[in-house]
Chains A and B, each alone.
Chain A
Amino acid sequence: MLRRLRAAGLSDVGDASVYGTLRRLYRGGALTTYVMPSDEGPHRRYYGITARGVAVLDDARAVWTDFSHNLNALLATPLEVPSP
């Protein structure tokens, strides 16, 4: 997940933000988790998305699309500098 974020150019997103966010989404019922015990090294936790998580994602995607569309449109309009 971190690799995907980095590859997408979001290199400022730290590990802590990702883990913290996963935790919050899990508590909000958007994710399921299970822990895979490991003989060598620490246990690994895997995350899966729930139906609620899909709904949250769709909602967030719509909000973001709307917001970014509007802001892009606003920024695309050339500034009208009043002539002196």
Chain B
Amino acid sequence: MIRIQDLKFYYRLGEFSLDIREFSVTKGEKVAVIGPSGSGKTTLLNLVGGIIIPRQGMVSVDHIKVNELNDTGRRDFRVANIGFVFQDFELLDYLNVLDNILHTYRITGAMSLDKGVRLRAAALAKEMGIGDKLKRHANDLSHGEKQRVAICRALLPRPKLILSDEATGNLDPANKTRILDRLFRSVEQHDATLLAVTHDHELLKRFDRIVDFQDFQRNQGF
């Protein structure tokens, strides 16, 4: 599902650089990425999601070389195939919960926003324990609630690949299990792939594979 080869990435002014000789995730696999802050975990997700492009090397998702697509192509590919749970939720304060969940449909125009999608969004929110908060603005929510809204937004289009950056980081233990259950169920139901960055070592046993990014960087590949 994901394949990275001879990738080099660095920010123009920063000292950070990322070198990956070889990295791959097979279809349906649930992979956890761990590692200290600043090791490049979020950068990896952004590279796979086509939000940033490598200086060198190749990133392919579902046999499509993401780094070779132009700006528009990368965006369209991301909307159609990837569900992204961002580390800082990336919700819009002026929209309510339901509008935030449906926002990708509204602004990309790639998918039609019909009654079925709305009902599915409401059901998903209910499943995540925020069904009674659909009309509340994002800035009125707690951290945990915001995180669940962000997860709903990522899962709603039933993506082939879910990239999750600390999806359970701000949740209490009960909700953590519940959200992860839902995330895994979604992956299994839609034969999707999960690449999740996490600091929560208690949850690691539920993943198929764990990638320690510090070791990964040191050893240059798996």
State whether these chains interact: no
